[in-house]
Amino acid sequence: MVVLGFSTTLTLGDRGAWAACRVNRSANSSFRLYRKRSAVIRAEVRFVNGDDAKKLVTEEGFTVLDVRDRIQYERARITSCCHVPLFVENQDNDLGTIIKRTVHNNFSGLFFGLPFTKPNPDFVQSVKQQFPPDSKLLVVCQEGLRSAAAANTLENQGFENVACLTSGLQSVKPGTFDSVGSTELQDAGKAGLVTIQGKISAVLGTVLICAFLFITFFPEQAEKLLQMSPAS
């Protein structure tokens, strides 16, 4: 009976210990889950303006990662930047791509000078080959959309120190960064008939202003010129 009682008491104690162990395991699992979630939460992408971006490069040692397409990059770029395009020119020759490329080249490409592109399938791998995950990267593009997408992609891939230039290089004040290329950083996205149209509008505006001033201050001479014009 004593053995039986001892055995019964031991069994109850084992049950209590087992219950306590389960509680501890549950607590430990919750703690590990909390630690795992905490580990997953990394520093978010820092969105900065032109002046703050300059400080990141000069004072904190950030490297500029330019994700624009090849054409914009060649027009103007920040000195000593690294170029890995988020989109590359689409040279595929399937029927659907040919039709899309033709439509693009006759509209967006013609008026804005934009190349027909597709997502760069090697973007992440190319960045990883050049930079370790703890690298300080300042991601830039022309308008700020591609750089935001690229920065979020790199952050999701484990890069810990990523910043993004808000509104792109088009919003940077002249002289903020040293640059190379055939134009200013702010104008690298301007091309095609839009730029020609702007020049034509400027010339026509100047001619109209001059004609208005001539008629206003020299009305007699203007009337004589009108009389000399051939009658319709």
Query: Annotated active-site positions, please?
Result: 141
The distance in angstroms from the start CA to the end CA of the chain is 133
d(CA 228, CA 222) in angstroms, rounded, equals 10
The single residue listed with the structure tokens 């988020």 is 86
d(CA 131, CA 141) in angstroms, rounded, equals 19
The tokens describing 105, both together, are 């080249």
d(CA 136, CA 132) in angstroms, rounded, equals 9
What is the DSSP code (8-state) at residue 105?
H
Using DSSP, state whether 218 is helix, strand or coil. Answer: coil
Do the beta carbons of residue 44 and residue 162 sit within 8 Å?
no
Ordered DSSP codes for 79-121: TT-EE--SEEE----SHHHHHHHHHHHHTHHHHH----EEE-T
Using DSSP, state whether 112 is helix, strand or coil. Answer: helix
